[in-house]
Structure formats: C-alpha cells, structure tokens
C-alpha cells in the first residue's frame, strides 16, 4: 500500500451544481455551487436485504467491507467472497457474498436496520443489542503530539470532495509520524470511518502502524468502530461524548479530541514522548 496517496479529484457523480440567489440583487450569471450527493445504499447479504444507509456513492466496496466488520457480520475481509454494485432507480444496491459458514451465522443473528447519516445505531431495539468491541485495543504504540500536528496540517489536502462541497466528513489513517496514508470521505461520519476501515482491510493492511483521524465528534459508535478495527488511537476534530470517553478508557484506546492546528485534548490514554531533536 502506498505510504501517501495522492489526493484524488472527486468524480462528477459525487456533487451536483446549484445556482445561488442573492437577496436584493439580480445575478443571472452567478456561478453555481457544488452540493454533495447523498444516495440510499441498500446493503444485501446473499439475497437478504440488511440495511439502507444514506451515503455518498463512492468507494462502496470499501464501505460494505468496513460496515460488515464493524457490524460484527464478518471477522475479516477474507470472509467476504465477492461484492457487486448495482445502480437502481433512486439508489444503489450493493450485494455482499459471504463465506458459507459466515452467511449461516449471519442469518442466525439477522436484524432489520434503517440507516441514517446522523445515527450509527438505528434499528437496535434494546440496550442488550448494542454492538460492543471485545477486549482492549490492539493498535500500534502511542504516537507523539508532533504526529497529530502533522496529520492535522495534511488532512485538508486529502479531502477533495469536502473542498468542493463543504458538506462531507473524512476519516484518515495516519502513520506513526503523522503522514496521511489513506482517506475516505462521506456525507456520514460513520460511513466515512467504515469506508476507511474497509479500504485498509481490502489492501491487506491492519491497525498496527498508525492511528485514526476523523473530522467529526468522537461518539460511542466511532470509538467502537475504531476498537473493532483494532486501532490503538482515535483523534477527532470535534469533542467527545461521555460514553465515548468511558468506552475508550475501558478498551484501552487512546482518545484525543477537540484537535486543532494549535493543540488538542487527550481524554484517555497517553502520548509517546517526542523524538530527540523535536522540542515543543
């Protein structure tokens, strides 16, 4: 996997153009603005529909791979035999073929889910059904503050869709020095993280050489997804919730949030000391 992916240009299908109207002035020649596309994605396992998620229609193979892991449907990418993407009127159907044994287990625990970009737990009917990561995080060693600073400085240039629309989230995998390795974007913060996790899994990579950076708040679901993937550290640009802090502490996940160019707050865990020669 390349150490640094070149920032890609978003496909035209990911944004539509709208023409602004200014109050009190007539601007017939005003330049249009780009609007992020949001599409219903019907996730189907075998012949059994599982969820309809509202998402950006990009990197869908990555999306369903990460979603399948963080939903507990598979334990790894090797349990997915194939993925097909089929555009439909009004949405896209993505069919996932599971290994036979895994599909039987999936049928035994199948539940209905109606997805939203704002919620990662829609369809869960009881507290006991909450998806919970097991054990402690298995990620890389702690990184120094300078790595987070580097990642924050680089992230913008790896978000072409957000630069175009100012309406989507990003999730990034950064190496131990803070260099951005892989980024995925989506209108939903959970979707962006699932896409990023799926991209890492499909590339044969794991969570042993860096940390996660997300452009959203750090909620319970984001912490759970990070821990299920095996990440040792999650950095969020916005603030965490109380349950996110509790779960991160329980799972041994280092959680840093309110991350800005001028600093951040470490809520659980600890950072590594700065390498020799780097003064802060």
Structure tokens at 40: 């219903």
Handedness of CA 244, 56, 237, 145 (dihedral sign): positive
Torsion of CA 197, 5, 270, 277, to 10 degrees: 170
pTM for the whole thing? 0.87
Q: Are 185 and 38 in contact (CB under 8 A)?
A: no
* Exposure string for 254-278, b = 16+ CB within 10 A, e = fewer: bbbbebeeeebebbbbebeeeeeee
Residues 61, 69: Cα–Cα separation, whole Å: 13
Q: Where are the beta strands (DSSP E) in 78-232?
A: 80-88, 91-98, 113-114, 169-175, 180-186, 210-214
pLDDT given for residue 69 in this prediction:
95
> Helix, strand or coil for residue 172?
strand
* Residues catalogued as catalytic: 119
pLDDT in tens, the chain (280 residues): 444 454 455 555 688 888 777 776 656 666 788 999 999 999 999 999 999 999 999 999 999 999 999 999 999 999 999 999 999 999 999 999 999 999 888 887 765 444 555 455 555 556 666 666 776 666 777 899 999 999 999 999 999 999 999 999 999 999 999 999 999 999 999 999 999 999 999 999 989 889 999 999 999 999 999 999 999 999 999 999 999 999 999 999 999 999 998 999 999 999 999 987 665 5
Burial tier of 3 (Cβ tally within 10 Å: 0-12, 13-18, 19+): exposed
Side-chain-side CA neighbours of residue 120 (13 Å): 22
Q: Inter-axis angle of helices 220-229 and 60-70, to 10 degrees? A: 90
Q: Where in the chain is the domain with CATH 3.10.20.10?
A: 39-129
Contact residues for 80 (Cβ-Cβ < 8 A; gap 6+): 65, 68, 74, 96, 97, 98, 99
> Structurally, what CATH architecture does the domain formed by 39-129 represent?
Roll (3.10)
Fold of 145-268: Cytidine Deaminase; domain 2 (3.40.140)
pLDDT given for residue 13 in this prediction:
67
Q: Where in the chain is the domain with CATH 3.40.140.10?
A: 145-268
Structure tokens at 12: 């035209």
Residues 280, 146: Cα–Cα separation, whole Å: 8
Q: Are 97 and 82 in contact (CB under 8 A)?
A: yes
Contact residues for 33 (Cβ-Cβ < 8 A; gap 6+): 17, 18, 19, 20
């Amino acid at each position: 996997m390349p150490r640094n992916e070149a920032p890609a240009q978003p496909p035209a299908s990911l944004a539509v153009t709208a023409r602004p109207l200014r109050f009190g002035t007539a601007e017939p020649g005003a330049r249009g603005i780009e609007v992020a596309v949001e599409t219903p994605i019907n996730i189907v396992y075998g012949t059994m529909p599982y969820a309809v998620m509202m998402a950006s229609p990009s990197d869908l193979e990555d999306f369903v791979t990460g979603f399948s892991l963080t939903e507990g449907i598979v334990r790894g990418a090797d349990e997915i035999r194939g993925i097909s993407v089929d555009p439909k009127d009004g949405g896209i159907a993505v069919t996932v073929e599971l290994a036979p044994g895994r599909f039987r287990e999936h049928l035994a625990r199948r539940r209905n889910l109606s997805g939203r970009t704002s919620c990662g737990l829609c369809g869960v009917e009881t507290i006991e059904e909450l998806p919970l990561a097991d054990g402690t995080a298995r990620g890389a060693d702690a990184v120094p503050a300078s790595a987070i600073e580097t990642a924050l400085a680089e992230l913008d240039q790896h978000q072409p869709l957000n630069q175009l629309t100012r309406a989507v989230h990003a999730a990034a995998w950064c190496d131990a020095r803070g260099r951005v390795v892989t980024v995925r974007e989506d209108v939903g913060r959970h979707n962006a993280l699932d896409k990023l996790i799926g991209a890492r899994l499909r590339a044969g990579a794991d969570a042993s050489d860096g940390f996660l950076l997300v452009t959203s708040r750090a909620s319970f679901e984001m912490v759970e997804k990070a821990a299920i993937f095996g990440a040792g550290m999650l950095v969020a640009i916005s603030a965490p919730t109380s349950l996110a802090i509790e779960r991160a502490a329980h799972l041994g996940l280092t959680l840093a949030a309110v991350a800005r160019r001028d600093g951040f707050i470490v809520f659980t865990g600890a950072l590594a000391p700065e390498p020799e020669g780097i003064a802060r």
